[in-house]
Chain A
Amino acid sequence: MNIVVLVKYVPDTQFDRHLTGENHLLDRNESILSELDEYALEAALALTDERGGAKAGNNVTALTLGPAAAAAAVKKSLQIGATAGLHISDEALAGSDASATSLVLAAAIRTLGPVDLVITGMASTDGETSIIPAQLAARLGLPQLTFASSLELEGATVTVRRDGDDFSEEIQATLPVLVSVTDQANEPRYPNFKGILAAKKKKVTTLSLAELGVPVDAVGLVGSKTTVTDAAERPARTAGVIITDSGDAGIQLVDFLAAQKLF
């Protein structure tokens, strides 16, 4: 089985994040493998583990698109258990919106030959739009099974659950498919010592846009179909009044609500 997992290198959400420069691009220092992509990787590894792992010819390719530093996301994925890495790296990509990004990702996946499954996280933790999986499925002509809270494969049939606001749905498709998984889908594993050593021997391919055959003007700020015209940082929230309950905190709470005209 051939599985591609999208892994994004994103600013760590534990720290303050900033938009910089006249184009309001995200400062990408202090980045890590997006924690939501760990669920995608786990879903892929669980499927291949059940089928005899890499020894039985199952490949899990970790695919990332981003600057040179983004190779760290691929490296971590290899340590966790992916069998190979593909890194699309090109300066021209900076500032690409979802449309340009999904275009390049689709081209990258096409270089991998027949793929059974493309698995992604439910959203990136930076842009948080959730539109890449749907755009990628549309571009590759794959059935999309998105926001999966569970994922099963039997023969060539993939079954997922999707828990929406109004409905909980079971959805089926036949391979090849694209799946995005939520953080309900599994418990991601961590890299262990053996995995870290093994990762050093795994193959990572780095491709430029020219090697992918994607024109430079289809990506970056020029090739994007949206533009951010203005950005303003919100003042950070500060702590207000804190009281310790000495028997009447419930009443003080109501006083507060009344003062704010909230009941």
Chain B
Amino acid sequence: MSAIVVFIDQVAAPGKLHAIHHQLLTLARGAGEPVAVVAGPVSAGLAAELGSYGVSRVLSSEQAELGEFLVAPKADLVAQAAAAVSAAAVLVDNGAQGKEIAARVGVALDAGVITDAVALTSDGGALVAHKSVLAGSYTVQARATTAVAVISVKSHSVEASPAAEASVPVVEAVTVAFAPGSLGARVTQRTPRAVSGRPELEDARIVVAGGRGVDGDFGPVEELADVLGAAVGASRAAADAGWISHAAQVGQTGKKVSPQLYISVGISGAIQQKAGMQTSKLIVAVNKDLDSPIFEIADFGIVGDLFKVLPQAVEEIKRRRA
């Protein structure tokens, strides 16, 4: 069976796997033999977790360069490990770093790169990536025409499932030969972002997003999000105003989300905002201006004041649950 490499970063926050890693390993197991390539330490717990997803081979490096420089050394690791195991495919997460690793691995292995995959299927042994393009207006299927396919995969492209039988992985330490150009961009400072305790935007089943209409007060948006177990999103106007972190921004230059439900609050629905949310299953909009473009795509629209509508909805949900 051909090796399918899954990249797992353990440099900045070592210890355990993320949901996306479970998903990538599940995809890899379906397509061949999953091989985990780990940047950073492989603790006993991590090895056991990898084993529970059917990984029997782990290639890891703890070279300091992996953490000291931006992206490129990790890409060197992935490319060299993938070559060493004659991988048929390399799977990485679809974050900024994941996509860039995919890009550089593509150059190193002379391989086709596909980003933003939302599902992987197999056609005669070749991996077919399904993705949505042009701000969600098309869905396409793409594949690499090269011996190795490099694919960055979005969260939720598969339901993660542990292997029927856990394996005990063999961990091999590898030494990466870093390209000179890879050791140029030094990370001189790294500040962890504050954690909200709410679900991640890309993982959430429900997103409640606020815009300029919240006028500096995300309270009502957060309260509705919390009773629904939802993630909090924002328009660029709200993030630019400093009312919420840019990490919460949804849109062309922010996160692309497609939850079961997107509740848009005090957001006009500019084209750049729509680009990040219009593939949501259901869209609810609360906006006091009936002419806002968001109403053109909302399944349920409320023309009203968010400071009245949201607290009332929150009370009603609590009442019905009581």
B88-126 contacts to A (CB < 8 Å): 95-97, 99-100, 102-104, 106-108, 110-116
Taking CB as reference atom, which chain B residue is nearest A146?
A: B100
B156-173 contacts to A (CB < 8 Å): none
User: B99 — which chain A residues lie within 8 A by C-beta?
Assistant: 129-131, 134
User: A165 — which chain B residues lie within 8 A by C-beta?
Assistant: 95, 193, 200, 247
* Contact yes or no, B137 A225, CB < 8 A: no
B132-145 to A contact mask, C-beta < 8 Å, 1/0: 11111111111111
B181-221 contacts to A (CB < 8 Å): 181, 184-193, 200, 206
Provide a sorted-by-A list of 8 A–B residue pairs whose CB atoms are within 8 angstroms. A102-B107, A149-B246, A229-B142, A230-B141, A233-B138, A237-B297, A242-B290, A243-B302
User: A260 — which chain B residues lie within 8 A by C-beta?
Assistant: 261, 282
A21 to chain B, nearest CB (A): 13
User: A252 — which chain B residues lie within 8 A by C-beta?
Assistant: 302
User: B70 — which chain A residues lie within 8 A by C-beta?
Assistant: 143-146, 162, 169, 171
In this complex, how many residues of chain A approach chain B with their Cβ under 8 Å: the count is 88
B60 at the interface (CB under 8 A from A): no
Q: With contacts A19-B138, A165-B193, A167-B190 known, what are 19 further pairs, Cβ within 8 A? A: A14-B271, A17-B135, A17-B137, A24-B140, A129-B99, A130-B99, A130-B115, A131-B102, A145-B70, A149-B246, A163-B247, A165-B247, A166-B13, A167-B12, A169-B189, A170-B188, A228-B140, A262-B261, A263-B227
* Contact yes or no, A141 B145, CB < 8 A: no
* Contact yes or no, B103 A227, CB < 8 A: no
Known: A126-B134, A138-B107, A169-B187. A239 touches B141 (CB 8 A): no
A: residues with CB less than 8 A from B are 13-14, 16-17, 19, 24, 26, 36, 97-99, 102, 122, 125-135, 137-147, 149, 159, 162-174, 177, 182-184, 224-234, 236-245, 248-254, 256-258, 260, 262-263
* Contact yes or no, B140 A225, CB < 8 A: no
Cross-interface CB contact of B191 among A142, A168, A263, cutoff 8 Å: A168
Please tell me which stretch of B21-29, B32-40, B43-51, B311-319 contacts chain A, meaning at least 4 of its Cβ atoms lie within 8 angstroms of it.
B311-319
* Contact yes or no, B100 A166, CB < 8 A: no
Known: A135-B103, A172-B186, A249-B304. A225 touches B284 (CB 8 A): no
* Contact yes or no, B189 A145, CB < 8 A: no
Interchain CA distance A133-B107 in the complex, whole Å? 12
B209 to chain A, nearest CB (A): 15
Taking CB as reference atom, which chain B residue is nearest A106?
A: B107
* Contact yes or no, B72 A239, CB < 8 A: no
* Contact yes or no, B188 A130, CB < 8 A: no
Cross-interface CB contact of A228 among B106, B141, B200, B260, cutoff 8 Å: B141
A149 to chain B, nearest CB (A): 8
* Contact yes or no, A145 B104, CB < 8 A: no
Interchain CA distance A99-B150 in the complex, whole Å? 12
Known: A173-B186, A226-B114. A163 touches B246 (CB 8 A): yes
A96 to chain B, nearest CB (A): 12
B292 to chain A, nearest CB (A): 11
B309 at the interface (CB under 8 A from A): yes
User: B193 — which chain A residues lie within 8 A by C-beta?
Assistant: 164-168
User: A256 — which chain B residues lie within 8 A by C-beta?
Assistant: 284, 300
Interchain CA distance A227-B128 in the complex, whole Å? 10
B: residues with CB less than 8 A from A are 12-13, 70-72, 75, 95-97, 99-100, 102-104, 106-108, 110-116, 128, 132-146, 179-181, 184-193, 200, 206, 227-228, 236, 246-247, 252-253, 260-261, 271-272, 275, 278-279, 282-284, 286, 290, 295-305, 308-317, 320
Known: A141-B180, A225-B110. A244 touches B137 (CB 8 A): no
User: A142 — which chain B residues lie within 8 A by C-beta?
Assistant: 181, 184
Taking CB as reference atom, which chain A residue is nearest B312?
A: A250
* Contact yes or no, B309 A249, CB < 8 A: yes
* Contact yes or no, B298 A173, CB < 8 A: no
Taking CB as reference atom, which chain B residue is nearest A240?
A: B299
Known: A135-B104, A165-B247, A243-B302. A143 touches B140 (CB 8 A): no
A38 to chain B, nearest CB (A): 12
Known: A99-B112, A167-B192, A225-B146. A245 touches B301 (CB 8 A): no
User: B136 — which chain A residues lie within 8 A by C-beta?
Assistant: 234
User: B279 — which chain A residues lie within 8 A by C-beta?
Assistant: 234
B234 to chain A, nearest CB (A): 14
Q: Which of A19, A97, A177, A257 has the most CB of B within 10 A?
A: A257
A24 to chain B, nearest CB (A): 7
Known: A99-B112, A165-B95, A239-B296. A228 touches B142 (CB 8 A): yes
User: B128 — which chain A residues lie within 8 A by C-beta?
Assistant: 229
Taking CB as reference atom, which chain B residue is nearest A163?
A: B246
User: B184 — which chain A residues lie within 8 A by C-beta?
Assistant: 142-144, 173-174, 177
* Contact yes or no, A138 B112, CB < 8 A: no
Cross-interface CB contact of A144 among B12, B106, B185, B190, cutoff 8 Å: B185
